[in-house]
Amino acid sequence: MEHLDTYTLLISASVIIILSFIFGEVAKRTNVPSVLMLIILGILIKFGMDALGIMDNVDFLPVLEVLGVVGLIMIVLEAALELKLEKDKYLAIGKAMLIALLGLVFSTWAAAWILEYFVAGMDSTTAWLYATPLSILSSAIIIPSVTGLKGEKKEFHIYESTFSDILGIMLFYFLTSQLHGGTGELSLDGELADTAEHSSGALAYGIKVLITIVVSLIASYGIVLIFQRIKSHVKLFLLIAVLLLLYGIGKKFHLSSLIIILVFGLMIANMRLFFQGPLKKLLNYKQALHIYEGLHVVTIETAFVVRTFFFVIFGITIVLSSLASWNVAMVSLLIILSIYVIRFVILRIFIGADILPQLFVAPRGLITILLFYAIPAEVQVEGFEPGILLFIIIGTSLIMTLAMVVDKKRTSVAMRKVNEAPVGYEKWRAPTLAEAVVEEEAEG
């Protein structure tokens, strides 16, 4: 600890943020996710700390959890602010939500089966709990990585990853509530042994979701109406503090708090849709629009900083020796294979033949890590190797990187061919009367 003073920490944090920005610029040009570079940076920092004997006994997990929660909120809010609920997009949004739901459920089922079969001490209940984080798409990786795709594909990935985050977290906490509530035991296919108790638990959780949606709508209307009247220049971070407060209170009451963030983001991004009829008179659209624009910038900046430190600290906490296991590699590869087989079938059914690079844009990341740390201690399985988590995160990210690079090269080749063979044109001149007569006689 004597090696670290205030200024050393300040310099280190500043260098990490600068490097993260550079990684982001490199990612735009190479399609290598900046998240991978941040994790590698964390691993290198860990090597340096070990060599210098710095902070050997520091527990980073509480910091990682706080950063993960704040980062999750910022990422979902950032995604919600991008979602425009226009009539011509309802079909695309509905399709993305259905694909996210089916992908989550079937990927969780496949991963649970693999874990139960190959991991010692894993029963069907805990297998589903462990499999859920491994089945959630990472919007933290996807959203920054798909900026170069054309409009429809980019929107699809934003919608799908956002819905996957929210639905996956809801599924995880539903399974956790079943464990704590003693409502029965999950069988291999995900059904509770006691159907009546299962129905009761599912109904109770459904009611909680509906309550959360109602509370979210009331809170969102209240926030917009109050904050449009605040004249202070510091109201944006005050607004974020209110959202964090609502999220924390929702968690204390075991509500699906991410829905609060999503509903507010959708409302502020689609004010004309939510404020109709009598409510339209209450909205100062010009002032509310300033809130939206400022919040959009603050959210992007905050998500960038939080995401940076989250993945660097995650890299610091990684135990690389956990990767040196044949069982880890086998289980991880089987789960990764199941992810893409299931994804191929679903995309082929709902999208058609044009499923590249969407098929391979399925990385796991921040949500996966965060939910693994949220698995209750009483159901944690000693036989589960943390290396599986790391292997899947790195593996799916590398596959996405390769697919994006190939797609970018394919697009560049197509554009080059178009530019090399431009459409020709000729100047048109109206024929004279004599030319018209001659042409008419020739045709006759």
Give 289-300 pLDDT, tens digit per residue.
Answer: 888 888 888 888
Average pLDDT over residues 185-194: 39
- Residue 439's pLDDT band (boundaries 50, 70, 90)? low
Is residue 267 over pLDDT 50? yes
Burial (0-12, 13-18, 19+ Cβ within 10 Å), 217:
middle
Tens digit of each residue's pLDDT (9 = 90 or more) over 123-147: 888 899 999 999 999 887 887 778 7
Is residue 194 scored above 60 in pLDDT? no
DSSP class of residue 146 equals S
Q: What is the pLDDT of residues 208-263, one digit of tens each?
A: 778 888 888 888 888 888 888 887 777 788 888 888 888 888 878 777 777 888 88
Q: How many CB atoms are closer than 10 A to CB 110?
A: 20
CA 337 to chain centre: 20
Distance of CA 256 to the CA centre of its chain: 16
Please say whether the beta carbons of 136 and 364 come within 8 A: yes
Question: What b/e sequence results for 280-305 when a residue is b if at least 16 CB atoms lie within 10 Å of its CB, and e otherwise?
Answer: eeebeeeebeebbeebbebbeebbbb
What is the per-residue pLDDT for 396? 92
Q: How much is the average pLDDT of 361-376? A: 85
**What one-character DSSP code corresponds to residue 430?**
P
DSSP conformation letters of 336-387:
HHHHHHHHHHHHHHHT-S--TTGGG-----HHHHHHHHTS-GGG--TT--HH
Beta bridge partners of residue 192, listed in sequence order: 186
Residue 76: pLDDT above 50? yes
Dihedral of CA atoms 279, 284, 289, 291 in degrees, nearest 10, equals -100
Q: What percent of the chain has pLDDT over 90?
A: 15
Residue 72: which pLDDT band, with cuts at 50, 70 and 90? confident
Sequence-distant contacts of 274-277: CB under 8 A, at least 24 apart: 274/220, 274/221
What are the backbone dihedrals phi and psi of residue 419, each rounded to the nearest 5 degrees, phi first?
-70, -30
Please say if the pLDDT value at position 403 is more than 80.
yes
Q: What is the pLDDT of residue 192?
A: 39
Residue 301 has pLDDT above 80, yes or no: yes
**Which of 48-57, 194-203, 379-388, 413-422 has the highest average model confidence (pLDDT)?**
379-388
Query: Residue 425 — very low, low, confident or very high, per pLDDT cuts 50/70/90?
Result: low
Q: Residue 189 pLDDT > 60, yes or no?
A: no
Q: What is the pLDDT of residue 171?
A: 87
Report long-range pairs for 201-204 (Cβ below 8 Å, ≥24 apart): 201/174, 201/177, 202/174
Say whether pLDDT at 181 is over 60: no
- At residue 88 the predicted structure's pLDDT band, cuts being 50, 70 and 90, is confident
Long-range contacts of 109-113 (CB under 8 A, 24+ apart): 109/189, 109/190, 110/335, 110/338, 110/339, 110/342, 111/135, 111/335, 111/338, 111/339, 112/188, 112/190, 113/188
Residues 310, 71 contacting (CB under 8 angstroms)? yes
Mean pLDDT of the chain: 80
- For residue 182, the model assigns a pLDDT of 43
Highest mean pLDDT among 9-18, 79-88, 211-220: 9-18
Calculate mean pLDDT across residues 19-37.
Answer: 84
Rg (CA), the chain: 26
Structure tokens at 202: 């599912």
pLDDT of residue 331: 92
pLDDT band at 148 (very low <50, low <70, confident <90, very high): confident
Q: Which residue has the tokens 């998240």?
A: 35
Domains and CATH numbers, the chain: 59-415 (1.20.1530.20)
What average pLDDT does this structure show over 197-204? Answer: 63
Among candidate residues 287, 259, 247, the one with its CA nearest the CA of residue 271 = 287
Token pair belonging to 26: 């490199």
DSSP collapsed to 3 states, 16-72: HHHHHHHHHHHHHHHCCCHHHHHHHHHHHHHHHHHHHCCCCCCCCHHHHHHHHHHHH
Residue type, 244: L
Residue 193 has pLDDT above 50, yes or no: no
Q: Which of 255, 233, 235, 314 is nearest to 71 (CA)?
A: 314
Q: Report the C-alpha gap between 175 and 186 in whole angstroms.
A: 9
Q: Does the structure show a pLDDT above 90 at 336?
A: yes
| pLDDT attached to residue 111 | 94
Pick the range with the lowest mean pLDDT from 7-16, 146-155, 259-268, 363-372.
146-155
- Cα separation values, 249 from 241, 257, 258, Å: 12, 8, 12
CB 70 within 8 A of CB 306: yes
The whole-number pLDDT of residue 191 equals 41
Q: Which of 364, 434, 429 is nearest to 107 (CA)?
A: 364
Give the pLDDT mean for 386-399. Answer: 88
Per-residue exposure over 394-408, b if at least 16 CB sit within 10 Å of its own CB, e if not:
bbbbebbbebbeebb
Torsion of CA 42, 44, 49, 55, to 10 degrees: 20
Whether 67 has a pLDDT exceeding 50, the answer reads yes
